[in-house]
Amino acid sequence: MGMKIVFLTDFLPNPEMIGGGLQNQFAHLAQSFHEMGDEVLVICKSRNSNYTQYPFHVMEVKLSPKVEKYCQSFSKWTFHKIDYTLMQAFEAWAVARRCRQIPGVDIIQSSNYQFMSLFIKPDKARRIVFAASYRPLWSETKGVRNTFDNRLTSYLEGVLYKRAGAVFAPSAHLAAILEAQYKRPIDVLPTPLSENSLEENPGWYEQHLGKKKYMLYFGDMIKRKGIFTLAKAMQAVWEEDPDVLLVMAGPDKIVNGSSVMGEFIKMIEPHENKVIYAGEIDHPALFPLIKNAHFVILPSIEDNCPNTMLEAMSLGKAVIGTIGSSLDEFYPASCSDLLVPRQNSGALAEKILKLWNSPPEQLDGYGKQCKSYIEENHALNKATLALRNYYVQKISAH
């Protein structure tokens, strides 16, 4: 019997905006549930985006002019100290209002990010929250100032965690953090990864890299992802082998008014010419970079089963990861020697040099084992079925 499922997310990947791991995950799940015969509606915040590529229904919720005036007034009254939280709260209220108008809903799923389902009444449907992060720890390891605005957003995300009908995380690492903080059970379910059916665009790779040997970091340019640890490690790497080439791809982030990528470049001086920064590129252009890399490096400090790791492994690449960040949960035992302690630049440098000097066939061996592990544990159809069974279980207990 089909279910009626509503997903809430800030946006879905579309021609105007490249989605991150969270947005891509919700898009893959909605697509998969739709193909299984469930009725799917995705509610996004209004960005006047083009979602015609999706076969399921996508709706954008926009604040009315009257509510926008209320929001502007509150911003003035609070001296613009909580503008981010206010906007998210008004938008969450608008989303809840729209959800009340949808009949026969079985499941409403959102992430904790921006607490979009905070004002939805528990009796409307089974309210499921996907745990994408624990904001206080994520902000700390990102280097974000602990402003009142940030603390208020963290508080409201915490309220959502407490009020949700059920909460699940993709890693035992994050589940344990949330259980200790909120004194409630947090389930663990696999992150889905769709099969690569994209028509790849090798233009950027061919123009900038050609047949060069390089290692690849891709993802957000933020402290939490370990790029400053990587910068320290690379100094030691280049002292040993000045020919090592690092390629980085992903959006630069402005933290506390400064470019994170700019800070990274300063840290590696005078070796900045040994880094090629691709910026934010879409998946058709990114996949050739991953496939042709000698290996991939993801030195996260704190993480939650990142899509970057899953994508690289699914493409058959050896990935240097970190112990204690959650990444170590997703490696086959035979590839555990690809892991180093988080924030240990010395161990990271040693591992980089070891893999840089490893023959391609050895790295291919790692890659094949990682690919098999991901296919077995994170295939989209298996992960979607596990989530659907989880929904049925929660509806039955409601």
> How do residues 90-100 score in pLDDT, each as one tens digit?
999 999 999 99
Q: pLDDT tens across 243-285, in order? A: 999 999 999 988 888 899 999 999 999 999 999 999 999 889 9
Q: In whole angstroms, give the CA distance from residue 144 to residue 346.
A: 26
pLDDT at 254: 87
Q: What Å distances lie between residue 268 and 208, 263, 299, 307, 313, CA to CA?
A: 21, 9, 16, 27, 28
Whether residue 299 has a cis bond before it, omega within 30° of 0 = no
Q: In whole angstroms, give the CA distance from residue 300 to residue 227.
A: 8
Whether residue 332 has a cis bond before it, omega within 30° of 0 = no
Q: pLDDT tens across 188-225, in order? A: 999 998 776 668 999 999 999 988 999 999 999 999 99
Q: In whole angstroms, give the CA distance from residue 221 to residue 64.
A: 35
DSSP state of 192: P
What stretches in the chain show pLDDT beneath 70?
1, 124, 196-198, 398
CATH fold group of domain 203-378: Rossmann fold (3.40.50)
Comparing CA positions, the residue from 208, 219, 171, 191 lying closest to residue 326 is: 171
Token pair, residue 117, equals 């389902």
Q: In whole angstroms, give the CA distance from residue 359 to residue 229.
A: 25
Domain spans, the chain: 4-194+379-397, 203-378
Match 């009142």 to its residue by tokens: 148
Q: 4-194+379-397 maps to which CATH number?
A: 3.40.50.2000
pTM of the model as a whole: 0.92
Token pair, residue 149, equals 């605005």
pLDDT at 18: 80
Q: Are 161 and 96 in contact (CB under 8 A)?
A: no
